Structure 1
Amino acid sequence: MGSQSHVLVVSFPAQGHVAPLMKLSHQIADHGIKVTFVSTEFIIARLTTTMPVKSLRRLVSLPDGLEPGDDRTDALKLINSFQEVMPGHFKDLVEKSNESYDDRISCVIAGISVVWAFEVAEKMGIKSAAFWPAGPATLALTLRIPKLIEDGIIDTQGTPIKNDLFWLSKEIPAWKSSEFPWSFPGDSRMQNIFFQYVFKMNHSVKLCNWLLCNSFYELDSLALNLIPGIIPVGPLLSGNQLENHIGSFWPEDSTCLSWLDKQPVGSVIYASFGSTSTFNQQQFDELALGLELTGLPFLWVIRSDIANEALSEFLDGIRSRIADSGKIVCWAPQEQVLAHPSTACFISHCGWNSTLEGISMGVPFLCWPYFADQFQNKSYICDFLKVGLGLNPDENGIITRQEINTKIKTLIIDDGIKTNALKLKEMAKKSGTEGGSSFKNFESFIEQIKQ
């Protein structure tokens, strides 16, 4: 009898990349395949503190090349260091693992941006699968970069040559030229580094044997059809309560679930802006006042890593004012919150993981994108899927309390949006259960890596 298949899963060190790959890893392990999850020492240490007891125990950390005191939210520093230092350590890890017959690596699955993992796998004769953690349309655009340059739409630094709308096809929402996934208006250095990083993903696709994505065919067949060979295996969800912490960087405050139990059905506004969004003090004020103006109960996630002294005083003030009508937590078990009968709508930054989770739970969105692919996700939610509304900033770039109050009240009485959201929920559920499109794709992928 042959040895058990062994998959190495490698993630870029960011919350939006780690969480879906960790969920995918659990699903692969459930099929009797040995899975080792690899990321940086910093990320593995964070995961270890938040993970439930029943979880993947094969976690391997590799140095990211940064000093202990370095700022790991500095994307430029992290990307450069990650690309320089990790490949050598990763090659050593694979070689060491391959010394034992029972631990030989049969497949490497890596986030599509971790180009060096595919280069190492190819040199060592190991099959690999690239995993795309964002929406299919954003990948279709990324794979079109050489053509965008050739057609004179962008230059070799990713800067738009003219201020215009760009369509991949007439059926898919257009991009504003200032809102490409690599766009950082006013910061050319950041944009150039991100653009080069994104551009390299084209190389990953050429090297890998499979291309997986966290979506499902019925959600966006138009974009998926533009990407040869793509395998949608989403929505990747935690599934049961025990595993709700999968891939989370912060301890989840589950007291919000018992608080939700006390609220009327379909009454709570859930506001969460992901792992990277930040607001200035004025914007925090407007959001707090906008939520209060609605007169509805709200659950608001404010990460501990952005709570400075001024913000802490501000939050203390809000907490005393809102008493029972609102609850503020540092991090929430999001899938359970979105699935809760009391949750009425989701004010979101429109990161892809949050977008899919909201869709899977049938919750209408109020869209507040921050950067990268989130603007395109907002277009999908509002204009293509019609399951949400956008929040529009005023002339000073602030989303005002009046705008927040008005849009929430409009959203929660919009029966068309509610109906669309519930239809998508059913489609998502069907795709991931036996006989569904993503279920079949995943089963087929598992069979192939076992061979």
Structure 2
Amino acid sequence: MIPWNGGACKRYGFFQEEDLKSKDKLITCLPGKIPPIRPTDIVSFLREKHISEIVFSAALDESRFQNIGDYVLVNTFEELEGGKDAQMCLSVNGCPALAIGPLFLPNFLQGKNSVYSMWEEDRTCFQWLDGQAQGSVLYVSFGSIAIKSEKQLHELALGLEACGYPFLWVVRSDIAEGKSLDLPEGFKDRTKDRALIVSWTNQLKVLSHPSIGGFLTHSGWNSSLEAISMGIPMIGWPYFGDQFLNCRFVKDVWNVGLDFEGVDVDEFKLVTKDIVESTIRSIMEGSIRMKLCENVVRLKKAAHKTVMEGGTSYTNLNTFVEDMQKIAKSRV
């Protein structure tokens, strides 16, 4: 059940369909200093209309077991989430929450790539990236699951063509609603001097490359955290799950990215090539880009600091390990 509309939190219920399309019905009574969130920010499989819905019921059952744990470990960092306030918010059920992320970052900073891919990686893109100007390339990837209609992907392709920027686009074999994508006629020839299309690549290595200037993403949490840790501003295009909330925080709370208006309330909305082009231009050039880059570089520095000795995530993880050792010894 979700509290909504009003600080007193006296009304609990499931969102109706009309609520999900309203930006006026804000959830304002969450603990901690969490900004008001909209119904469309809620994890998509928690938007069910009745408790009997199987996915909602499963998530609810899982949440009931959280208060019997010793800790909740979260792959984020306090400086991103608002410090100890957010940590206290997650601990309201009596089970302490600790931010211990970004989990991938310590290994990355030591030159280790511990990310294992679900798909075969195309490594040729790095030679291509080496030949591009610093901060000039838009990286486009929707992760391993998100799909779009072929019509929408054609509009995206035409927007990428019109923007004039070099781009690296990950086009999975199933991205067009489970099928391979037939690109617009002549698209590859017209963009061959400034574009590279691959089926999959090492995203973390791409985002850390100096030629990358922006990231068009499905707003998955791993992708969002990786982009922030590498100092790359984002354009969010969420698909399902927590991606809507991630996208909104990237844009409106952390101010490190943009999105396409309306896709959170209408999954069938067509984002036209003109909107794609104008949004890409905003993130790759001008005053908007300058502000986004300033914010994301600040968070990048905080992310790197937090996993170092003495940082908050480093300390939190040590606290967890030490407490688990004490508990284990007490039970021997």
Q: Tell me the TM-score normalized by structure 2.
A: 0.81
Could you tell me how far apart the structure 1 residues matched to 2:101 and 2:32 are? Answer: 25
The letter for the 1-side match of 2:297 is: L
Which of 20, 28, 34 pairs up with 1:172? 34
Could you tell me how far apart the structure 1 residues matched to 2:122 and 2:250 are? Answer: 28
Percent of pairs identical after alignment? 35
| Runs of 5+ consecutive residues of structure 2 not aligned to the other structure | 327-332
Does residue 449 (structure 1) correspond to residue 311 (structure 2)? The answer is no
Which of 219, 229, 248 pairs up with 1:379? 248
Could you tell me how far apart the structure 2 residues matched to 1:274 and 1:250 are? Answer: 11
| Other structure's SS at 1:404 match | helix
| Other structure's SS at 2:90 match | coil
Does residue 230 (structure 1) correspond to residue 90 (structure 2)? The answer is no
Report the equivalent of 2:329: none
Superposition pairs of residues 2-401 of structure 1, within 5 angstroms: 145=1, 151-155=10-14, 164-167=25-28, 168=30, 171-183=33-45, 192-220=53-81, 221=83, 222-228=85-91, 229-237=96-104, 239-240=107-108, 243-244=112-113, 246-306=115-175, 311-314=180-183, 318-393=187-262, 397-401=269-273
| Other structure's SS at 2:11 match | coil
The letter for the 1-side match of 2:291 is: G
Could you tell me how far apart the structure 2 residues matched to 1:146 and 1:172 are? Answer: 15
- The alpha carbon displacement at 1:376 in A equals 1.4
Report the equivalent of 2:290: 415
Q: Is the 8 A contact 1:179 1:372 kept in 2?
A: no
State the superposition RMSD in angstroms: 3.0
Could you tell me how far apart the structure 2 residues matched to 1:161 and 1:199 are? Answer: 23
Report the equivalent of 1:5: none
Could you tell me how far apart the structure 1 residues matched to 2:41 and 2:313 are? Answer: 30
Q: Is the 8 A contact 2:170 2:199 kept in 1?
A: yes
Report the equivalent of 1:104: none
Could you tell me how far apart the structure 1 residues matched to 2:303 and 2:67 are? Answer: 29
Q: Is the 8 A contact 2:146 2:175 kept in 1?
A: no
Could you tell me how far apart the structure 1 residues matched to 2:32 and 2:319 are? Answer: 32
- The alpha carbon displacement at 1:242 in A equals 7.4
Q: 1:310 to 1:273 in 2, by over 3 A?
A: closer
- The alpha carbon displacement at 1:191 in A equals 9.3
Could you tell me how far apart the structure 1 residues matched to 2:147 and 2:161 are? Answer: 20
Q: 1:308 to 1:166 in 2, by over 3 A?
A: closer
Q: 1:231 to 1:310 in 2, by over 3 A?
A: closer
Could you tell me how far apart the structure 2 residues matched to 1:313 and 1:190 are? Answer: 41
| Other structure's SS at 1:443 match | helix
Q: Is the 8 A contact 2:150 2:177 kept in 1?
A: no
Q: 1:243 to 1:293 in 2, by over 3 A?
A: same
- The alpha carbon displacement at 1:301 in A equals 1.1
- The alpha carbon displacement at 1:188 in A equals 6.2
Does residue 429 (structure 1) correspond to residue 291 (structure 2)? The answer is no
Deviations 1:77-136 (Å, cap 9, x if unpaired)? Answer: xxxxxxxxxxxxxxxxxxxxxxxxxxxxxxxxxxxxxxxxxxxxxxxxxxxxxxxxxxxx
- The alpha carbon displacement at 1:277 in A equals 1.2
The letter for the 2-side match of 1:337 is: V
| Runs of 5+ consecutive residues of structure 1 not aligned to the other structure | 1-144
Q: Tell me the TM-score normalized by structure 1.
A: 0.61
Could you tell me how far apart the structure 1 residues matched to 2:290 and 2:235 are? Answer: 15
The letter for the 1-side match of 2:140 is: A
Q: 1:146 to 1:201 in 2, by over 3 A?
A: farther
